[in-house]
Amino acid sequence: MKNRLVMVIMDGVGYSENSNGNAVKNANTPTLDLLMNKYPHTLINAHGTYVGLPSDEDMGNSEVGHNAMGCGQIYSQGAKLVNEAINNKDIFNSRTWNELINYCKNNTLHLIGLLSDGNVHSNINHLFELIKRAKEEKIKKVRIHILLDGRDVPKTSALIYVSKLENLLKELNDSTFDARIASGGGRMNITMDRYEANYKMVEKGWHTHVLGDARYFENATTAIETMRNENPDIIDQDLEPFVIVENNKPIGTIEDNDSVIFFNFRGDRAIEISKSFDEENFDKFDRVRYPKVYYAGMLEYDSEAKIPKHFLTEPPKIKNTLTEELNKYNIYEYAVSETQKYGHVTYFWNGNRQDKFDDNLETYDIVPSDIISFDKKPEMKSFEITDKLITAIESNKYDFLRINFPNGDMVGHTGNYEATIKAMEAVDKNLNRILDTCLKNNYILIVTADHGNAEEMYDKNNNTKTSHSLNKVPFIIATNNINFKIKEGNFGLANIASTITTLFDIPKNPSWKESIIEKE
């Protein structure tokens, strides 16, 4: 095998001709411009049905994007998977659901998750179906612990979702059924940490949801309005935790013999809170009190580590990944990112597998992320990541290397347009270093993205936008070594795996989507 490859994933960097709010187009990016002007490229789909989501109105995300790139196939994902399980009643006929219900028949069913219809981590309609079914099952008491979004949906839209939930509860509540919001807080403040970047978030979530230990309010609307009045610049994802009280007593602490469902379907930000409920010898923080509950996730968030122990919806069984195929040919791989996206180039890339397929052929590296708001340091760890990648290239040990730059996504989610421009400029400077190193060492360079974000930071009304986009993403191949052409067609992220094997001159797996290129 004569060819060797480096793949750069610019997380959250889509393509748009619209200049307004386009931090990709308006940044100074001479390297990206050079790549788009000099080398073969196309635009590919990274959203909706192209990554296994219910419709093409659904934004892509990093989890499903890396799944699709890493396995060359399209599996039902996230919202679509849960939709199917709810529609065919598999959730409510499952052993887990029946055990959850029986466990808390005389106590409380707690529902924790992101109150949003962003369809990236959760969907409010799934929550609604769980609440309605709980009433049908004669559960008397339900408490909902809401995490506020402002990231995959408009940044100050929380009250819209609170109102929808409160209206449903008003319809359902009667003398036999008592369902209420019990606690809440912003998703980037409590509970939804990932990759162990900041376990303090999970600890605050535990104190809020389980212990009822946070600022008291009479209802969620008052809590949100009060915090907004105190800090007019705050957005939903950053709101402080709150607890709903009656007669100065929390209405929904989690107690022995209660059942708890974490209703997010996406795994990365669900694992740590799941471990805090599931693990008897948990040691990441002092839980103060560890109630005996039946805990379940909407999905199995980590199939290798079996997290959580109980779950409502069977996850996609992803087989025939790119890494498995490359291992057959003894291709040495190297993957690196900072903490925020490390799992995307490893766990998600390998079909939701925590462990390596072959310890001898795969090397994974990580740079710890800073625990700050990423608009305060928009370059994040891009220079350190690049240092490690260049060292790996120059070692001459590896045949296929992949890297994720989180900047476009993580800084884009803050809504800070100026900071996102700086983030893109940092990525571009490091792209230049990588391109030079690849050309000097005869590596083929692939540059792409997992979904859009940074290229669309204002909505049609010129309001700040923090969510992902529906735009296509660039796919560029920079090499002086081989002759090929890009096919005509409507391609997506799942076509990348077979493109990589084409560049390696090895057969693609029969289950994969076709290659984007053909050799000349």
User: What are the residue numbers of the active site?
Assistant: 62
Please provide residue 442's backbone torsions phi and psi, each rounded to the nearest 5 degrees. Answer: 60, 40
Residue 170: both structure tokens together = 């008003």
- Containing H/E element for 335? strand 333-338
Kindly state the helix (H) or strand (E) to which residue 86 belongs, with its residue range.
helix 78-87
Distance CA 111, CA 114 (A): 10
Q: Amino acid identity of 330? A: N
What is the identity of the amino acid at 77? Q
Whether cis (ω within 30° of 0) applies to the bond prior to 250 is no
Q: Round to whole Å and give the CA distance between 380 and 408.
A: 10
**Dihedral-angle region of residue 105 (phi above 0 means left; psi in -120 to 50 means alpha; beta otherwise):** alpha
Backbone angles phi, psi at 270, to 5 degrees: -110, -15
- Using DSSP bridges, classify how beta strands 484-486 and 517-519 pair: parallel, antiparallel or unpaired: antiparallel
Alpha carbons within 13 A on the beta-carbon side of 222: 11
CB burial of 116-131 (b: ≥16 within 10 Å; e: otherwise) equals bbbbbbbbbebbebbb
Long-range pairs for 201-206: beta carbons < 8 A, 24 or more residues apart: 202/272, 202/273, 202/276, 202/284, 202/285, 203/284, 203/285, 204/241, 205/241, 205/273, 206/273, 206/276, 206/285, 206/287
The Cβ-side half-sphere exposure at 517, using a 13 Å CA radius, reads 23
Q: Which of 130, 115, 151, 244 is nearest to 453 (CA)?
A: 151
CB 438 within 8 A of CB 393: yes
Which tokens go with 72? 């060359």
